[in-house]
Amino acid sequence: MKTTRIGNGCGFWGDNVDAPIRLAQRGKLDYLTLEYLAELTMSILALQKQRDPQAGFATDFLDVLQRLTPILAQQPNLKIITNAGGMNPLGCAQRARDVLKQAGMARRVAVVSGDDLLPRLDALLVHQPLVNLDTGTPLQSIRARVVSANAYLGAKPIADALARGADIVITGRVADASLAVGPAMHEFGWRWDDWDRLSAASVAGHLIECGAQVCGGLWCNWREVGDLSDIGYPYVDLADDGSFTISSDAGPGVNRETLAEQLLYEVGDPARYLTPDVVADFTSVALEAMDDRTQRVHGARGQAATGTYKVSIAYRDGFMASGMLTIAGPDAVAKARLCGDALLRRVGVTFGRSNVECLGAGACAPGLSEPEASARAAGLAEVVLRVSVHDADRAKVERFTKEFAPLVTSGPPGVTGYTTGRPKVREVFAYWPSLIEKTAIEPSVEILT
Q: What are phi and psi of 91, to 5 degrees?
A: -60, -40
pLDDT in tens, the chain (449 residues): 899 999 999 999 999 999 999 999 998 999 999 999 988 899 889 889 989 999 999 999 999 999 999 999 999 999 999 999 999 999 999 999 999 999 999 999 999 999 999 999 999 999 999 999 999 999 999 999 999 999 999 999 999 999 999 999 999 999 999 999 999 999 999 999 999 999 999 999 999 999 999 999 999 999 999 889 999 999 999 999 999 999 999 999 999 999 999 999 999 999 999 999 999 999 999 999 999 999 999 999 999 999 999 999 999 999 999 999 999 999 999 999 999 999 999 999 999 999 999 998 888 877 765 555 565 666 789 999 999 999 999 999 999 999 999 999 999 999 998 888 899 999 999 999 999 999 999 999 999 97
Q: Can you give the pLDDT at residue 449?
A: 79
Give the per-residue pLDDT at 369.
59
Which residues contact residue 162 at a Cβ distance below 8 angstroms, ignoring those fewer than 6 apart? Answer: 79, 110, 169, 182, 183, 186
> What DSSP assignment string belongs to 121-176?
HHHHHTT-----TTT---GGGGGGGEEEEEE-B-SHHHHHHHHTT-SEEEESSB-T
pLDDT for the residue 362:
83
Q: What is the pLDDT of residue 372?
A: 54
pTM: 0.94
Domains in the chain, CATH or no CATH each: 3-115+152-306 (no CATH), 315-432 (3.30.70)
The CA distance from 294 to 288, in Å, is: 9
pLDDT of residue 425: 98
Select from 120, 41, 67, 56 the least CA-distant residue to 93.
Answer: 56
Spatial distance between the Cα atoms of 411 and 382, rounded to a whole number of angstroms: 15
